[in-house]
């Protein structure tokens, strides 16, 4: 993996966390109260995360010429870690919750990132053969 690709990996990984985080503010009233039911909020943010994540992975893989599966694993694991770390630093304190509670309600959904990135890697690898 080149230095340029590593930088793209990190920047796009940051965006994979930032986009749903920023969109989530649209669902809160000024006082910090949710404007929609929690299930609606959670489902909508999950869709935003998957759609934006898929687009960001598409952008990432445009710069990959070979070893698609390896890059799918690398980008998936690194974006998973970026999302968990940023949540631990920013979101968990905002939610005033424990890591375990956070992980069981939100963090577990981040397993979709390596699932999708590795699948994209396999798809691109098969297409090239």
Q: What is the pLDDT of residues 43-84, one digit of tens each?
A: 999 999 999 999 999 999 999 999 999 999 999 999 999 999
What pLDDT score does 1 carry?
Answer: 77
Percentage of residues in the chain with pLDDT exceeding 90? 96
Band (pLDDT 50/70/90 cuts) for residue 128 is confident
Q: Which whole number is the average pLDDT over 108-119?
A: 97
Q: Are 118 and 73 in contact (CB under 8 A)?
A: yes
Q: Which whole number is the average pLDDT over 87-102?
A: 95
């Amino acid at each position: 993996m080149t230095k340029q690709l590593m930088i793209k990996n990190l920047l796009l990984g940051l965006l994979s966390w930032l986009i749903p985080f920023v969109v989530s503010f649209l669902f809160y009233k000024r006082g910090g109260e949710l404007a929609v039911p929690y299930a609606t909020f959670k489902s909508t943010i999950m869709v935003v995360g998957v759609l934006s994540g898929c687009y960001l992975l598409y952008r990432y893989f445009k710069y990959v010429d070979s070893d698609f599966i390896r890059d799918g694993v690398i980008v998936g694991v690194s974006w998973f870690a970026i999302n968990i770390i940023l949540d631990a630093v920013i979101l968990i304190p905002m939610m005033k919750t424990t890591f375990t509670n956070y992980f069981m309600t939100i963090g577990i959904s981040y397993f979709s990132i390596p699932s999708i990135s590795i699948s994209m890697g396999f798809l691109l690898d098969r297409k090239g053969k």
